[in-house]
């Protein structure tokens, strides 16, 4: 679990996110559970009190957009991590476990409509990219 602070100039909120095990190896998709955090310092104190130790910390700036496509509610997030070159696009939707394959097909179709092909996708995590950047 990690607490991520978003820059006030973008979405302006902080959240705690738990990412479960990968459900699709090709995309690296994982179930996520997220909630807003009112006070990140208190959240860090709670996590440390429960025995969690910070391993890596970095800034992730996000701007969210919601829309409907292919009969699904989608959340698209533009992401910037100052330590990593570029702007990243995440597209996700909430589905039951038995609908993951069809939902991923729909997400890939939306990406294709935007001119984003499989060669443009990465499974690298922001955490991994920041760690690699820091050496």
The pLDDT tens digits for 75-110 are: 999 999 999 999 999 999 989 889 989 999 999 999
The answer to whether the CB of 49 falls within 8 A of the CB of 33 is no
pTM for this predicted structure: 0.78
Cα–Cα distances in angstroms (integers) from residue 44 to residues 5, 14, 122, 125, in the given order: 11, 12, 30, 22
CATH of the domain at 103: 2.40.320.10
Q: Which residues contact 90 (CB under 8 A, 6 or more apart)?
A: 75, 76, 77, 79
- What percentage of residues in the chain have a pLDDT greater than 90? 48
The count of domains in the chain is 1
For 119, half-sphere exposure in the C-beta direction (CA atoms, 13 angstrom radius) is: 1
The pLDDT tens digits for 34-56 are: 888 888 889 889 989 999 888 88
Domain of 105?
2-134
- The 3-state DSSP class for residue 125 equals coil
């Amino acid at each position: 679990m990690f607490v991520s602070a978003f820059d006030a100039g973008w979405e302006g909120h902080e959240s705690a996110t738990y990412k479960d095990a990968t459900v699709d190896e090709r995309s690296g998709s994982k179930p996520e559970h997220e909630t807003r955090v009112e006070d990140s310092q208190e959240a860090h104190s709670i996590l440390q009190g429960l025995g969690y130790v910070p391993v890596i910390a970095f800034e992730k700036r996000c701007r969210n957009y919601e829309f409907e496509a292919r009969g699904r509610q989608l959340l698209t997030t533009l992401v910037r991590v100052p330590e990593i070159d570029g702007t990243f696009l995440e597209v996700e939707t909430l589905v039951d476990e038995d609908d993951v394959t069809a939902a991923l097909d729909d997400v890939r179709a939306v990406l294709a409509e935007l001119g984003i092909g499989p060669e443009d996708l990465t499974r690298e995590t922001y955490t991994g990219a920041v760690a690699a950047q820091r050496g």
